[in-house]
A and B are shown apart, each in its own frame.
Chain A
Amino acid sequence: MSTGDLSIGATAPSWRWGFTDTWVMTKRNLTVWSRVPAILVFTLVQPMIFTLLFRYVFGGAIPVNIPGGYVNYLLPGIVGQTAAFASMATAIALAVEIQKGVVDRLRAMPMARGAFLGGRLAADVVRMSITVLVIIGVGYLVGFRFQGGFGSGVAMVALAIALGAAMCLISATVGLWLKNEESTQAFGLIWLFPLTFISSAFVPVETMPGWLQAFANNQPVTHVVNALRAFALGLPMHDNLWLSIVWIVAIVAVFTPLAVRAYQRVS
């Protein structure tokens, strides 16, 4: 063994390896996604079903007072829900890799500490972005139309992805603590369902009983969906944008260290 081999890991500053390793892990995760038709279909088809279900089955019974009718109300909601739900795959993928022992093997290697989590989050954000764009496409097919300008459209997509990324951090923490595919999946439904359904995503919050409104009006998904809707339809933003940003920043600030700690604790 020559000293040349030893220096392999030492020729570049560690922050550079952080990027390279994260990129390698991101590519790895995206390749897996693209090669498993079941995951691909699940991540894309599930939001499509929600779109069609609410557009054609429930939508007719939900009166809303906005230009373009319910389909225009619905789509920003579906986008928000899709971004939030996409985080479930983060938790499951992490739990599976811990169960399989992959994490152990990677941790015994000189790769950058953050690359495993970073690569997972980066890949999931890319995946989620693709899903969101596909859903907007599907929305167009069923009658949704942007009422704001192009810039507002971009802002809407960006905000949805920011929400999704924050949700991924919560999910990652959950997956890393539970370390088990089934319980992660079950627990994911427990917190994601209320958060997305008891919000303004599908129905106006005013139609809910007062005690439920209290929750719905003060949780991040409602603020984000209202902001998405304001971007998409050119409606007044009120406090929704800055409240959304405060929520997202707060979630990231709280759950980044929690996820990192949970990852370090895995053993």
Chain B
Amino acid sequence: MIGEKRPFGNLPDVGEFAVVVEGLRKSFGEVHALRGIDLTVERGTVVGLLGPNGAGKTTAVRILTTLLPPTAGRASVLGHDVVRDATAVRRLIGLAGQATALVDELTGRENLEMLGRLYHLPKAQARERAEELLTEFDLLDAADRPAKTYSGGMQRRLDLAGSLVASPQVLFLDEPTTGLDPRSRNGMWEVIRKLVAGGTTLLLTTQYLEEADELADEIVVIDHGQVIAAGTSDQLKDRIGGDVVEFSVTDSQQLGPALDAVAGVGDGDPEVDDSRVSVRVGNRGSELLLEVVRRLDNTGIGITGLGLRRPSLDDVFLALTGHAAEAS
């Protein structure tokens, strides 16, 4: 194979996996942040590392991005060991985290150009790339204002743009939307979706099931430094029973007829708590919500508080671990 051009340059052939993690452990003294994690991320896919605060998500990302040496186990990115071959890994990855790398006093454009220079792009190319990213991330209007004047959402977008100056093949996003308001969060999701559509491999951490659901092809749930479940969003939801249609009857006398009306909709028998009825509808939420409404409407039973509840991280945790997703 020597001298022969391989599809990925002079990288060793690592097949379909962009990230491979085997038996990864990290201890800080008596604190065991990671207790043996196995994980793979297929090229061009998005894996969401889902877990509560303190689960070990950030530690895992820090090891994968060469910032921390593991206590035991191995991790590689595109075939490069993150410890022995850290420099090669750094050339291929992008990282955006909870903390931004921005310099508040520099403008958006200056920040991106500076990062481009630090990624060793020639000056002209760094300038061009900055312009490109500012356009792509809808920051052109604010390009020449100091970053400190940006809103929280804009700063995150600029920071994300900064992690992309060198067109990384693998991107790590550590809680990209934590602390953002819902509108900015949606904006970030949009941007991330576009990136992924362009073929970037992405590993993101999040505390929000909804976010993992929206963005990830595969979700890896971690808790206390261990993987406790992995699979697609639907697979995970199936394990915990999926979405739930909920409603209350206004008159508790009508509970019986209401239960009769919705019998057979969803999975299993509806659950009743006081006058509140929960119907498990798996991943056919919207479709079966309509069905429930139609049937109740036909009977003329008065209902309140009708809604479709999607399982939350708490539901996932409760189902998988028996404890709530609180930071311990």
Contact = CB atoms under 8 A, between A and B. Distances in A.
B117 A109 contact: no
Given A28-B106, A102-B101, A1 B114 contact: no
A125 to B, nearest CB: 20
Interface stretch (B61-69, B202-210, B265-273, B293-301): B61-69
Contact of B120 (A9, A31, A102, A105): A9
A21 interface: yes
Nearest to A16: B120
Contact of A35 (B62, B65, B105): B105
Contact of B97 (A36, A104, A115): A104
Nearest to A1: B169
A267 B58 CA distance: 12
A106 B90 contact: no
A110 B91 contact: yes
Given A101-B98, A101-B100, A108-B65, A24 B119 contact: no
B322 to A, nearest CB: 34
B324 to A, nearest CB: 29
Contact of B99 (A28, A102, A107): A102
Contacts of A35: 105, 146
A6 B92 CA distance: 7
A25 B92 CA distance: 22
Contacts of B110: 31
A111 B118 contact: yes
A5 interface: yes
Interface residues of A, number: 32
Contact of B87 (A5, A101, A102, A110): A110
B95 interface: yes
| Residue of A35, A107, A110 ringed by the most chain B CB atoms within 10 A | A110
A186 interface: no
B101 to A, nearest CB: 3
B208 to A, nearest CB: 21
Nearest to B110: A31
A214 interface: no
Given A3-B10, A6-B9, A6-B92, A110 B120 contact: yes
Interface in B81-99: 87, 90-93, 95-99
Contacts of A110: 87, 90-91, 119-120
A3 B4 CA distance: 13
B167 interface: yes
A25 B101 CA distance: 13
Contacts of B95: 105, 108
B4 to A, nearest CB: 13
Given A104-B67, A106-B118, A6 B99 contact: no
Contacts of B10: 3, 6
B65 A17 contact: no
A20 B95 CA distance: 22
B68 A108 contact: no
Given A1-B169, A101-B98, A28 B103 contact: yes
A32 interface: yes
A8 interface: yes
Secondary structure at chain B's binding surface: helix, strand, loop or mixed? Answer: loop
A100 interface: yes
Interface in B257-292: none
Contacts of B37: none
A5 B166 contact: yes
Interface in A18-45: 20-21, 24-25, 28, 31-32, 35-36
| Residue of A11, A32, A109, A110 ringed by the most chain B CB atoms within 10 A | A109
A109 B90 contact: yes
Given A5-B166, A267-B62, A267-B68, A108 B93 contact: yes
Contacts of B163: 105
Contact of A8 (B87, B166, B169): B166
A5 B9 CA distance: 10
Interface in B15-38: none
A118 to B, nearest CB: 13
Given A1-B169, A32-B106, A105 B9 contact: no
Given A9-B120, A31-B110, A106-B118, A101 B97 contact: yes
B121 interface: yes
Contacts of A109: 90, 115, 118-119
A172 to B, nearest CB: 19
A12 B121 CA distance: 12
Interface string B95-138: 11111111101100010001101111100000000000000000
| Residue of B66, B95, B120 ringed by the most chain A CB atoms within 10 A | B120
Given A1-B167, A32-B105, A36-B105, A107 B146 contact: no
Interface in A213-253: none
A41 B3 CA distance: 60
Give the 6 A-B CB pairs with smallest separation, nearest first.
A101-B99, A105-B101, A3-B9, A110-B90, A111-B118, A35-B105
Interface of B: 8-10, 62, 65-68, 87, 90-93, 95-103, 105-106, 110, 114-115, 117-121, 146, 162-163, 166-167, 169
11 contacts: A1-B8, A5-B166, A11-B120, A17-B120, A24-B117, A32-B103, A100-B99, A101-B100, A105-B97, A110-B119, A111-B120
Given A24-B117, A100-B100, 5 more contacts: A6-B92, A102-B100, A108-B67, A110-B90, A115-B118
